[in-house]
Amino acid sequence: MIARVYSASHLGIEALPVEVEVDLTPGTFYYVTVGLPDTAVKESQNRILSALKNSGFEAPIKKITVNLAPADIIKEGSSFDLPIAVAILAAQGIIPKEKLKNLFFMGELALDGRIKPVKGVLSVSVMVRKMKGKTLVTPLANGGEAAVVEGVTAIPVANLTEVVEWLNSEKEIAPASAEKLPTAETFPDELDFIDVKGQPHVRRAIEVAAAGGHNMLMVGPPGSGKSMIARRLPTIMPEWTLEEAIESSRVHSIAGLLPSDSPLLPRRPFRSPHHTVSDAGLVGGGHSPILPGEVSLSHYGVLFLDELPEFRRSALEVLRQPLEDGKVVISRASMSVTFPSNFMLVCAMNPCPCGYETDPIRECKCTPHQINRYRQKISGPMLDRMDIHVEVPAVKYQELKSDSGSETSAAIRERITKTHKTQNIRFAKSSIFRNAEMGAKQIKKHCEIGGSSEKLLKSAMERLGLSARAYTRTLKVARTIADLAGCEKIKTEHTAEAVQYRAIN
Ligand SMILES: Nc1ncnc2c1ncn2[C@@H]1O[C@H](COP(=O)(O)OP(=O)(O)OP(=O)(O)O)[C@@H](O)[C@H]1O
Ligand SMILES: [Mg+2]
Ligand SMILES: [Zn+2]
């Protein structure tokens, strides 16, 4: 008596179909799982047998062989409990086998037969969509997550008894309805740029950064508002598309970091790892399962490295590849996994170890040697990779009191959204989206500058000792500034502003 049920496993954020095959043969009781199960799958045996018994189904006193195919992909986690239990019931003839052909199952079983939520439902739902005409049976709590993917029918189930009744057409279960995609207007913690007083130069710099997808470094004394400003960056980025929301949420789903009441991240992620974070924590790692790191958890959002010089040098080195490629490849002997990592990097630091070197009122107690050593902790190549460097001065008391110049996040976001549209048209035929991602060929095509801009750039390079990499970055920032001004041509004033953002070297 053989029965087959479909489920899925994960490789990175991708889900792959897995066939669960159960064979019952007469004889004394014996239970074996084959097909590379990890420990969680082995443990599932006890849960499955208890859940069957406690739901009123006699566990078959027979030799039970569970085969998970294909054998060469690693199956992780407890989400195979439900498909295995369903296959055992089908092999016993308790549910009709022909009903199972177009269904995918995932769910962890509690000993009493309840079905508990599992990780990674969103990815499986995306996979099910590709297969067309299939239905996904998910734990009740994951129903909304599965149904987010348009075109997928998700049947939310609470316990094993209900699943059996549904498969025997004794009970109807309404498909889950998709959770509505929250919009950028809904920042529940009410972060808004209107709270940031004064600092016109910094507010402008962050607008340019968000407009072109440029990385940014802020340098300023304690309390000057660096963290406050960084935290508000996601509120001025354009509303994300459903596809972006799904892709970023899949990464969080794999890491088990999606809030249980929301299948999609409510907004673009903002990640701020502590400087003691390990390299694996930053870029991803581990064995079984391989988990995404901070660079992937901030996909389509912001990665904020506060107190940049406190990070270990190796941490900054491992960031380089994901920064350049927009993805991370983690290789193990048995497999290699790719996670997306398209994020905006924002870094903050004090100008010196005590923090007050640039503060007009408080006195800096550091020696020139200490200051030098502190700054040298950030390697030249890392500084080079920051498109925009901005000095954040201490805020003056009068400025904190006045509302002049403050704008809401919504007003700033409107301008940025407009420049993103310009860039979408510009890059429609290429694989990139933002000015910051332009390569040499695209820079040549889109960043042409006139004679006076050229002269200005040349003298700035000499004066500031800029590298060739810094030069191309300045051109890209100038392109974004021109976009914000609605100009097709980069003018001298745009280049001049871009040069200002390279002051720290
Ligand atoms: N421009 C500003 N407008 C309004 N409030 C501000 C501004 N700058 C700072 N503040 C206030 O000062 C507090 C401290 O700012 P914040 O923590 O962002 O400083 P920081 O530059 O990150 O300092 P540190 O170097 O110590 O991390 C903020 O929570 C806010 O209340
Ligand atoms: Mg801070
Ligand atoms: Zn100091």
Count of domains observed in the chain: 3
Asked whether residue 398 is domain-assigned, the answer is yes
**418 CA to middle of ligand 1, Å?**
29
Mutate to test the pocket of ligand 1, among 195, 224, 349 (most ligand atoms within 8 A of CB): 224
Residue 14 sits at φ, ψ, to 5 deg, of -85, 145
- CATH number, position 48: 3.30.230.10
In the predicted structure, residue 75 carries a pLDDT above the cut 60: yes
Distances (CA, A) of 132 to 69, 105, 150: 21, 16, 11
pLDDT in the model for residue 361 = 84
Q: In whole angstroms, give the CA distance from residue 27 to residue 48.
A: 20
Task: Give 321-338 pLDDT, tens digit per residue.
Answer: 898 888 999 888 777 889
Tokens of 203: 């507010």
Q: Does residue 393 sit in the same domain as residue 260?
A: yes
What is the 314 CA–ligand 2 centroid distance (Å)?
Answer: 22
Give the domain-ending residue among 413, 434, 455: 434
Ligand 1 neighbours, Cβ below 6 Å, are 195-199, 220, 222-228, 350, 395, 400
Q: What is the mean pLDDT of residues 266-278?
A: 92
Could you tell me the distance, in angstroms and rounded to a whole number, from the CA of residue 391 to the centre of ligand 1? 14
pLDDT at 493: 95
CA of 232 to the centre of ligand 1 (A): 12
User: Which of 434, 458, 489 is the C-terminal boundary of a domain?
Assistant: 434
Which atom, in ligand 1's list, is nearest to the CA of 198? 1
**Region of residue 312 (left: phi > 0; alpha: psi -120 to 50; beta: else):** beta
* Assigned domain for 131 exists: yes
Pair (365, 274) in one structural domain: yes
> Is the residue at 156 inside a domain?
yes
The residue with greater pLDDT, 231 or 38, is 231
Q: Would residue 174 count as lying in a domain? A: no
Both 296 and 399 in one domain: the answer is: yes
Question: Roughly how many angstroms between the first and final C-alpha of the chain, as a whole number?
Answer: 72
d(CA 285, CA 365): 41
Residues 442 and 471 in one domain: yes
At 290, which CATH number? 3.40.50.300
Is residue 382 located within the same domain as residue 446? no
Same domain, 325 and 344: yes
Confidence of residue 502 (pLDDT cuts 50, 70, 90): confident
| Residue 206 structure tokens | 């962050």
Higher pLDDT, 60 or 497: 497
Domain assignment of residue 185, yes or no: no
Q: What is the pLDDT of residue 186?
A: 52
Domain extent at residue 127: 2-167
How far, in Å, CA of 17 to CA of 92, rounded? 24
Residue 153 β-bridge partners: 135
In this structure, is residue 179 part of a structural domain?
no
The percent of residues above 90 in pLDDT, for the chain, comes to 55
Element containing residue 90 per DSSP (H, E): helix 81-91
The verdict on 152 and 258 lying in the same domain is no
Same domain, 88 and 20: yes
Q: Which residue has the tokens 């704008």?
A: 407
Residue 185 has pLDDT above 70, yes or no: no
The preferred substitution site among 192, 201, 228, 233 for testing ligand 1, maximizing ligand atoms within 8 Å of CB, is 228
Residue 282: name the closest of 305, 257, 264, 256 by CA: 305
Amino acid letter, 52? L
User: Is the separation of the CB atoms in 60 and 24 below 8 Å?
Assistant: yes
Q: Would residue 429 count as lying in a domain?
A: yes
Two structure tokens written together for 441: 């060929």
Tokens of 20: 């669960």
Nearest atom within ligand 1 for CA of residue 229: 18
CA of 362 to the centre of ligand 3 (A): 10
Least confident span in 101-110, 211-220, 231-240, 328-337: 328-337
Q: Are 115 and 82 in contact (CB under 8 A)?
A: yes
Give dist(CA 293, CA 68) in Å, integer.
29
228-232, 346-350, 398-402, 485-489, range with the lowest pLDDT: 398-402
Are 402 and 468 members of one domain? Answer: no
Confidence at residue 182, expressed as pLDDT on a 0 to 100 scale: 52
Q: Are 136 and 201 within one domain?
A: no
| Rounded-to-integer distance, Cα 435 and Cα 458, Å | 21
Atom of ligand 1 lying closest to residue 228 CA: 18
Verify that 12 and 145 share a domain, yes or no. yes
d(CA 81, CA 377): 50
Confirm if 490 and 478 have CB atoms less than 8 A apart. yes
In a domain, 385, yes or no: yes
Query: Do 76 and 197 lie in a common domain?
Result: no
Average pLDDT over residues 453-458: 89
When pLDDT is averaged across residues 351-370 and rounded to a whole number, the result is: 89
Q: What is the pLDDT of residues 88-135, one digit of tens each?
A: 999 999 999 999 999 999 999 999 999 999 888 888 999 999 988 889
What is the 363 CA–ligand 3 centroid distance (Å)?
A: 8
Residue where a domain terminates, one of 167, 185, 214 = 167
